[in-house]
Amino acid sequence: MAFVTRFAPSPTGLLHLGHAFSALTAWDAARAAGGRFLLRIEDIDAGRSRAEFEAAILEDLAWLGLGWETPVLRQSERMADYAAVLERLISLGVVYRCFRTRKEVLAGLVSAPHGPETLFFGAPPPRDEEAERLARGEAFAWRLSAAQTQALIGDRVFEDETGRLRADFARLGDAVIARKDFPTSYHLASVWDDAEQGVTHVIRGEDLRDSAHLHVALQALLGLATPIYRHHRLILGDDGKRLAKRDRAASLREIRESGVTPAGVRKILGLA
Ligand code: GLU
C-alpha cells in the first residue's frame, strides 16, 4: 500500500520541540513504511505568516535530518483553488453565511453532546435580511452546517489510532470554513491539499483529533478519499501546558544554539 505523509507547519513563529516531535514522527513513519514525506507551508494567514519564519522552518527541519520533495506546496499560492472548492460547497447547499459577531456566537453556544465544551449551531439568516446585510457590506463567515451535511452524505467511517469510528459531523459544531474576504480556513485548505497531494496518512498532534471528524465530512462532500489518521501525544512544557510559539526556550533555534545535537533532540523527545 502506498504511504504518503506530510508535515504542515504555519510560518507564524519558530519551530519548537512539539513541532520537532510531529515532524520526526511523520518522517520516521514514512521511512519505516518505505513511503514519501512531504512538507507543506500553511500560510493562509497572510497577516501572521512571515518569509523569515518559513526560511527558519526549512533550516531547522534540514538540521534535524529531514528531507522532503520539492517544490514545497505553499497554501498562499492556492487561494483561487480554495475559492473554487468553497463554491462547490455553496452549490451543495451545505454552507451558510453567518453574520454573527464573536459576542453573538458566544451567546448562541450549546453544550456539546460528548463533552464539557460548548458548540455553535446556526442557520442562514432570512433571505431579505441576508440581502440587506450583504448590500451593507457586513462581514460574515461561511459555516458548514453539520445537520445539512449529515442529511446529504449520511454515515461515514474512518480510522484513527483508536480504531475505526463513525464520523460525528457535529463534533466541532457548525465550523467556520471560510470568511467573506478569505475564501478558506485551515480545515478546508488542509483537506483539499491532503487530497491534492495524495496524502494517505495524516500524522499530527492529538489537539486535532476532533477536527478529523470535520475533515471526513469535507472529504465526503467533495468526493475525496479519506486518509488514515494518526494523532500523537503533545509535548508539554515544564508548566505542564502544551508548548506554544511564544515559548522561546523550547524553540529548536535556542536548543540548537545551546549545543544540543539532532540526536539529542530525539532523545529529549523520547524518539530513539
Ligand atoms: N498548520 C497546522 C498546524 O500547524 C497543521 C495541522 C495539520 O497537520 O493538519 O497546526
- pLDDT tens per residue across span 225-241: 999 999 999 998 877 78
Is residue 251 over pLDDT 70?
A: yes
Confirm or reject: Cβ of 204 under 6 Å from ligand 1: yes
Is residue 55 over pLDDT 90?
A: yes
Residue 31, phi-psi category: left (phi > 0), alpha (psi -120 to 50), beta (remainder): alpha
Q: What is the mean pLDDT of the chain?
A: 94
Is residue 116 over pLDDT 90?
A: no
CA-closest candidate to residue 123, choices 174, 187, 177, 184: 174
Give the percent of the chain with pLDDT over 70: 97
CA 248 to ligand 1 centroid distance, Å: 20
Handedness of CA 260, 58, 39, 69 (dihedral sign): negative
Domains of the chain, each with CATH number or no CATH? 1-77+236-272 (3.40.50.620), 78-191 (3.90.800.10)
Residue 246's pLDDT is what? 66
CA 16 to ligand 1 centroid distance, Å: 14
What value does the mean pLDDT take over residues 173-193? 95
Q: Whose CA is nearest to atom 10 of ligand 1?
A: 9
Alpha carbon of 112 to those of 5, 116, 120, 173, 200: distances in Å? Answer: 31, 7, 9, 8, 30
